[in-house]
Amino acid sequence: MAERPPLSLYIHIPWCVQKCPYCDFNSHALKGEVPHDDYVRHLLRDLDQDAPLAQGRTVQTIFIGGGTPSLLSGDAMQTLLDGVRARLPLAADAEITMEANPGTVEADRFARYQQAGVNRISIGVQSFSAGKLTRLGRIHGPEEARRAAAMAEGLGLRSFNLDLMHGLPDQTLSEALDDLRQAIALRPPHLSWYQLTIEPNTLFGSRPPVLPDDDALWDIFEQGHQLLSAAGYQQYETSAYALPGYQCQHNLNYWRFGDYLGIGCGAHGKITFPDARILRTAKTRHPRGYLAGRYLDSQRDVAQEDKPFEFFMNRMRLLEPAPRADFTRFTGLEEHSIRPRIDAAINAGYITETDSHWQITGHGKLFLNSLLELFLAEE
């Protein structure tokens, strides 16, 4: 038997004004107008089909990602969130996050999103250098980023996040730290600070730019981490920092191996059943098929032998200690089934163990892939 973990909802809005050269998310350059009402109608039909998977549980968090969700009109957002509330029980204090691009943000629209129920906004700043933003294919400039952050703060939202990238093409240490200082000066309660990686099937993948070397990247991370810590931000996940009490609850649920429904183009879901079965779902990626009413692309049960890897792949992204009891609670497997692998991880210095918890070490963070390989299913 497995205990059903907390439940979240992810909603995907697939359109962008233009596709960024580094982006491998399921996003599509907009041709014409966003079909606001039509897409929301299909999202809610998709949710109708998935609602039984909630098994009566209350939704604790909602995350509206993309693409660029801030292309959606305020009225469409109201219809969407009203529709969600009509179909699923929502916690009274639910965190409801929406991603926004500074180049698509209007002051009145931010306020309208808040009226619809959005209480946390994640702003894709990426850099405060006009030249770097152009290189990244972003449609906004530094001033728009600062303006969007000021708007988010002025609304008195529950929280807001700034997304910032480092390790950009030809970026120096001083440029990376200057970006970070400008972000910190805006005092966001949460900062996602992550390294640019070149992904296949992107423009950068086919024509890679020159990125800082490993030594330069390490200097950027080390000195940036010190800057953030000195400003009161605590690292709680590989690429996430927050002021105390402002961690993203939706992402915490992901990393703690929680459950989530996923609706919209290309959205993924994970659902646990009382018999310990774990179902993973994936929705149709392209808007054309999705808007034709073909929502579910695939679903599969997670094999028993794959559960340890999936559990630790998520759990070890967090820097907090992992309760040992959660492994059995959320996978239905006994700890003795992975005991040799845990011992190997301890002996390698990747994790430490107490009577109640496992804790990833600094060495484990540096060699996370090697740690996770210990939990791969044996061929």
Is the model's pLDDT at 124 over the cut of 70? yes
Out of 211, 229, 253, a domain closes at: 253
How many residues comprise the chain? 379
Tell me if 260 sits within 8 A of 10, measured CB to CB.
yes
pLDDT one-digit tens code per residue, 187-214: 999 999 999 887 777 677 667 777 889 9
Q: What angle do CA 363, 364, 365 make, to 5 degrees?
A: 90
d(CA 40, CA 44): 6
pLDDT one-digit tens code per residue, 326-377: 999 999 999 999 999 999 999 999 999 999 999 999 999 989 999 999 999 8
For residue 285, tell me if it sits in a domain: no
State percent of the chain over pLDDT 90.
81
For residue 108, tell me if it sits in a domain: yes
CATH of the domain at 340: 1.10.10.10
239 and 144 assigned to the same domain: yes
pLDDT one-digit tens code per residue, 281-306: 999 999 999 999 999 999 999 999 99
63 and 154 assigned to the same domain: yes
CATH of the domain at 48: 3.20.20.70
Domains: count for the chain: 2
Q: From start to end of the chain, where are the E strands?
A: 7-13, 15-16, 28-29, 59-66, 90-100, 120-126, 159-166, 190-195, 234-237, 240-242, 259-264, 268-272, 278-283, 296-301, 322-323, 351-353, 357-360
Give the 3-state secondary structure of residue 359. Answer: strand
d(CA 90, CA 259): 15
247 and 333 assigned to the same domain: no
Question: Regarding predicted confidence, which is higher, 339 or 32?
Answer: 339
State percent of the chain over pLDDT 70.
96
Q: Which residue, among 256, 249, 273, 234, has the nearest Cα to 315 in the 3D structure?
A: 256
* Ramachandran quadrant class, 187 (left: phi over 0; alpha: psi -120 to 50; beta: rest): left
For residue 36, tell me if it sits in a domain: yes
| End-to-end CA separation in angstroms for the chain | 26
For residue 318, tell me if it sits in a domain: yes
Secondary structure (DSSP) of 87-137: HS-EEEEEEEEEEE-GGG--HHHHHHHHHHT--EEEEEEE-S-HHHHHHTT
d(CA 276, CA 22): 38
For residue 191, tell me if it sits in a domain: yes
For residue 269, tell me if it sits in a domain: no
318 and 226 assigned to the same domain: no
Q: What is the pTM of this model?
A: 0.95
For residue 234, tell me if it sits in a domain: yes
* Ramachandran quadrant class, 293 (left: phi over 0; alpha: psi -120 to 50; beta: rest): left
Q: What is the pLDDT of residue 215?
A: 94
179 and 115 assigned to the same domain: yes
Give the 3-state secondary structure of residue 264. Answer: strand
- Tell me the residue range of the domain where 148 lies: 7-253
Tokens of 371: 């740690």
229 and 315 assigned to the same domain: no
